[in-house]
Amino acid sequence: MNAVGVIVEYNPFHNGHAYHMEQAKQASGAEIVIAAMSGNFLQRGEPALVSKWKRTEMALKAGADIVFELPYQFAAQQADIFASGAVSILEAAGCRSLCFGSESGQMNSFRQTLSFLEKQNDTYQNRVKFHLDEGCSYPKATSLAFCDIQPESDMVDLSKPNNILGFQYLKSARNQNASLNVLTVARKNAGYHDEQFSSDTIASATSIRKALFSENGEIEAIRQYVPETTYSGLIEYKETFGGFHHWEDYWPLLKYRLIHLLPEQLETIYEMEEGLEHRFLSAALQAETFQQFMELIKTKRYTWTRLQRACVHILTNTAKEEMPSEPSKASYLRLLGMTKIGREYLNKHKADLPLPLISRVSSRVSDHLHLDIKASRVYAMGVKGRQQQILLEQEFKQPPIMI
């Protein structure tokens, strides 16, 4: 069975994601789609709109065949570490190809850019350091450094978010000597960060979340931009848990964590460096909301995303030694769900998988799986009452979802 891999967050699953899966199968000639999907906290340092279980269900009903969880140690990380973990999962799962969406849509441009930067690596790294020393954020520094070394006109634009991730996927596959054939399809209509609806059927996940968290917050407003299975799934989740997960739900927990920690204790948390702990502690005493807190700690050097990830690690009490500081590979495959054809694929390949296949947490708690458990427990704190208990119990009692 020919499988194509996709690296996703599905926050939430929308029509653009369905288009991506269709194009991925067409471009690769694959019969099934395997998704490496972030868990309950995402790469931009945000709690997922709905739980990983509901997002798995949405993905399977809309065309995915197998969903593996991208572990917390990779999911809440900068692009290169995020990509490395995800690529290693898809390689271990036996995917023949990896297909990502990009603003470029031209795979040859990615390959030429990677080759160019490998040849210019020393100069490039020196320019990155120069711009960091000037006070730029890391993404800005890498973008400026790329321009400094005068790339050729047929290079990919590394200032675009999906191009950046796609470049890291290709680089990770190369560094891991993966057998994956890396492919790309052009994003359709909506840009990654678009906050407004600009098409009749395709919208970014950012604009969909903004609509759901608006003053009216009616799910009906996004209906034309998501599959019917996503629409009904969102309604069901809201009725069950009282709403969708948002950073403001976790602000009281974050503030409590901050105001009772000493600076030297906070400094041990992953991504807390260069005196950020003092800035965080001072802002926590002043801010009344998470939005206010972020506005107080935001600087030119640190992106909003980078600071949000640090907030997630504070919530989960994740120490520096628990997280990889450079690209590495996953050590297990956490199965969240599958379709009938996905189960057939796993039954056929199970004996050949190079990593342990985990279908229930209780059967194996080792490696970095404890980070996923902590993250899920903290995520459950975003809801109240019996609903909180449901999320807490799911981590241990929920079998892989079958569609």
In sequence order, the 6+-apart residues with CB closer than 8 A to the CB of 208 are 12, 14, 222, 225, 226
Binding residues for ATP: 7-20, 101, 162, 187
Q: In sequence order, what are the residues at sequence separation of 6 or more whose Cβ sits closer than 8 angstroms to the Cβ of residue 282?
A: 296
| H-state helical runs in 62-160 | 72-75, 79-92, 107-119, 121-133, 138-148
Which residues, listed in sequence order, are joined to residue 269 by a DSSP beta bridge?
Answer: 319
Sequence-ordered list of residues with C-beta below 8 angstroms from that of 74, at least 6 positions apart, any chain: 81, 82, 84, 85, 86, 324, 330
The letter for the amino acid at 400 is P
CA dihedral sign, ordered 315, 319, 76, 119:
positive
Phi-psi region of 25 (alpha: psi -120 to 50; beta: other; left: phi over 0): alpha
- Please give the structure tokens belonging to residue 203: 């919208």
Rounded Cα–Cα distance for residues 74 and 327 (Å) = 9
What is the number of other CB atoms lying within 10 angstroms of the CB of residue 195?
13
Annotated binding site: 7-20, 101, 162, 187
Specify the length of the chain in residues: 403
User: 91, 178 in Cβ contact below 8 A?
Assistant: yes
For residue 288, the Cα-to-chain-centroid distance in whole angstroms is 28
Whether the link from the prior residue into 12 is cis, omega within 30° of 0, is: yes
Distance CA 152, CA 114 (A): 12
- How is residue 201 annotated by DSSP? S
User: Whole-angstrom Cα distance, residue 183 to residue 180?
Assistant: 9
